[in-house]
Amino acid sequence: MSTAELETRLMRRAPIQRRSTQRVDRMLDVCARLLDEVGYEALTTKAIAEQAGISIGSVYQYFPDKRSMVRSLALRYLEEFLQRLEQRLLDPPLRTWRQLVEGMLVVYAEMLDSTPGFRAIRIGPAHDPFIMQPDMDNATVITAGARARFNDAFELPDGPDTDRVLVVALTMGDALVQLAYRNDPGGDPAVLAELTKVVTAYLDRELPGGAES
């Protein structure tokens, strides 16, 4: 299931016309900005509606509450993250798990610095292991999106064993990212180095048919 399809699951109704899509985009843009300005706890659908220049009724046509809006925003940022990562790893072509892990950390840091609301969603007060889908943990959602883009580079075997390894790797990585950025806004270099070493070693061991160290 694509990120767009997952996003549609969160909404009361999906925008069809261009005008409706632009209205939803405006809501999410304001939601992202307010996450940075006031934080998740103080965020309200009323404030989003007012600053987006739309009625509160229009907000509720698409989103039942602020949580569903943040979830939609998180899915959009996942798509942006994967697109940026794909571009970064085109030259030189992706060949090793280390390249993938290091590339993910670089793109992650760039988005933390420049993407409104991303820090609040990923390592701030809006962080939640089920932020993207209420019935699917983040690592599972990210695994599905990442496999669709990087499966050819690693020639990953199909099946639940591969998915399990990728979910475990992403879960370990996320826990270490939380630790790295908890007390250092720029990310503790020592912890990030450990993340790269641990996750790369795990992937090399469990999926030997993918990358070469």
- What mean pLDDT do residues 136-153 have? 85
Distance between CA atoms of 184 and 118, rounded to whole angstroms?
A: 16
**Confidence band of 1 (pLDDT split at 50, 70, 90):** low
On the question of pLDDT at 30 being above 80, the answer is yes
On the question of pLDDT at 211 being above 70, the answer is no
Beta strands in 46-131 (DSSP E): none
Q: What is the mean pLDDT of the chain?
A: 86
Dihedral (C-alpha) 41, 167, 176, 38: value to the nearest 10 degrees?
A: -20
Tell me the pTM: 0.84
**Confidence band of 212 (pLDDT split at 50, 70, 90):** very low
**Residue ranges of the domains in the chain?**
3-206
On the question of pLDDT at 134 being above 70, the answer is yes
Distance between CA atoms of 101 and 169, rounded to whole angstroms?
A: 10
On the question of pLDDT at 197 being above 90, the answer is yes
- What mean pLDDT do residues 131-136 have? 82
Q: Using the Cα atoms of residue 177, residue 88, residue 2 and residue 149 in order, give the sign of their dihedral.
A: negative
pLDDT of residue 199: 97
**CATH fold of 3-206, please?**
Tetracycline Repressor; domain 2 (1.10.357)
Nearest to 15 by CA among 58, 57, 54, 56: 58
